[in-house]
Structure 1
């Protein structure tokens, strides 16, 4: 474990410096020179660092980037969302989800279901939800640009995840957009579960909508309007904080 920790420290230091010799890396990391030489030799044999032929200093190789290829911008954004959702839980004890559009569905990326006392579903991350029949799907469509919205609808039609034809969808989208503009939020009753209602807001990036965040509640507990009156201010503030954090961190997926 110690060797792994030191090896990662060297990679981080080299990433920050761009190029460095063993003595410089030893100084930056606090690792003794003998160990630094040994670790660099190991990292070089594994293909993660190499010596520059021009000056003999160590530089990172493309293999280091390959390590991060499985981490998408959506994954990075989800980490920020997760932190804010857990803070929101202190104000809204009903479950909340963060979902993104994927192949005609809304896919849940983060959730507070496992911590909410009112959740009837626990393992939610990765579950798919309907695009047109759920608050989260409607929020994403309402928050998208016209071109992006049409793209999502075309993908959903291609995958068979929404019914009807383009003319029917145009009429339905006009109704949904007008309702969102009037209310300031998307909503659904019994979209994924007849017992559950939801309100949702889109999460915007610098160039397009990233996903949506909802608040779920029992249909018998309150109306959509009551839920919006109670929880929309907190939900709106959370979305605004997330968007600002993503902007500051340069996560603009």
Structure 2
């Protein structure tokens, strides 16, 4: 419980900086769609961030990009780098097993954060690099982790989302939807990404599947694949790819100490 009133302007500014960093090329409209913030507020925040050196405008166009100064904000956070270092050999060795570009992510307060990825191969142009933060409720990474969290921790996290049911958290407002989703994932052992989210983020050519990475006593993160729909669709692909993911996940857990 906070002992003071939160600074709303700072919260809004940090939200906008995070979205620009995630999208890598943002517009006022794209930020508005994901955050629900007023467009005039977004413009003021972007111009303030530009003055401070954290974002820059692309010429005279509508696009905003993060600058190298944003790297300094994460210089003290080592969990992602250390986790990536530990799992990287397993990820590299598992490319032929998994067949498709893979990402391993750990939980980061209210989202997942990618620690290592093999998405630079087979011509798959997708913008999910290490330190990218996929949302919990709509991605295969987030859903796979969420379903296997400790019940109390999961309920606390969902409580946060219920207080802010905007953007990709809006699924939380549908009665019983998240609970049914979690039960289904726990039964099957894998999660699929939300079609609307994937289409909006990567286009309609891709679908995603993820599994939890857990040891005997600890949930370490989640592993997912991005798959081209024109090569194999989710109906046929799940039967082939889910067992592959489940075979690699224990090796990642072992690399992380589990």
TM-score range normalised by the length of the shorter chain: 0.5 to 0.7
CA distance in 1, matches of 2:233, 2:80: 32
Larger radius of gyration: 1
Q: What are the within-5 Å matches in structure 2 for residues 80-119 of structure 1?
A: 80-114=86-120, 116-119=121-124
What displacement does 1:205 show? 5.0
Match of 2:84 among 78, 86, 89: 78
Q: Judging changes above 3 Å, is the alpha-carbon distance between structure 1 residues 215 and 164 closer, same or farther for their aligned structure 2 residues?
A: closer
Q: Is contact 1:88–1:235 with CA below 8 Å preserved after alignment?
A: no
CA distance in 2, matches of 1:223, 1:96: 17
Match of 1:140 among 118, 141, 145: 145
Q: What are the within-5 Å matches in structure 2 for residues 1-253 of structure 1?
A: 70=76, 72-114=78-120, 116-121=121-126, 124-158=129-163, 160=166, 162-163=169-170, 168=174, 171-188=176-193, 190=195, 191-192=197-198, 193=202, 194-204=204-214, 207-247=217-257
TM-superposition CA deviations, 1:151-178 (whole Å, max 9, x none): 2223444565512656x36x12221122
Q: Is contact 1:199–1:227 with CA below 8 Å preserved after alignment?
A: no
Divergent runs of 4+, >6 A? none
The alignment of Structure 1 onto Structure 2 pairs a total of residues equal to 177
What displacement does 1:78 show? 2.5
Q: Is contact 1:94–1:118 with CA below 8 Å preserved after alignment?
A: no
CA distance in 1, matches of 2:161, 2:105: 16
TM-superposition CA deviations, 1:30-49 (whole Å, max 9, x none): xxxxxxxxxxxxxxxxxxxx
What displacement does 1:71 show? 6.0
Gaps of 5+ in 2: 1-74
Q: Judging changes above 3 Å, is the alpha-carbon distance between structure 1 residues 82 and 222 closer, same or farther for their aligned structure 2 residues?
A: same
TM-superposition CA deviations, 1:195-225 (whole Å, max 9, x none): 2111101122565423211011022322224
Q: Is contact 2:83–2:115 with CA below 8 Å preserved after alignment?
A: no
Q: Is contact 1:139–1:200 with CA below 8 Å preserved after alignment?
A: yes
CA distance in 2, matches of 1:231, 1:163: 29
If the length of structure 2 is used for normalisation, what is the TM-score?
A: 0.59
Q: Is contact 1:140–1:202 with CA below 8 Å preserved after alignment?
A: yes
Q: Judging changes above 3 Å, is the alpha-carbon distance between structure 1 residues 152 and 209 closer, same or farther for their aligned structure 2 residues?
A: farther
CA distance in 2, matches of 1:165, 1:71: 29
If the length of structure 1 is used for normalisation, what is the TM-score?
A: 0.60
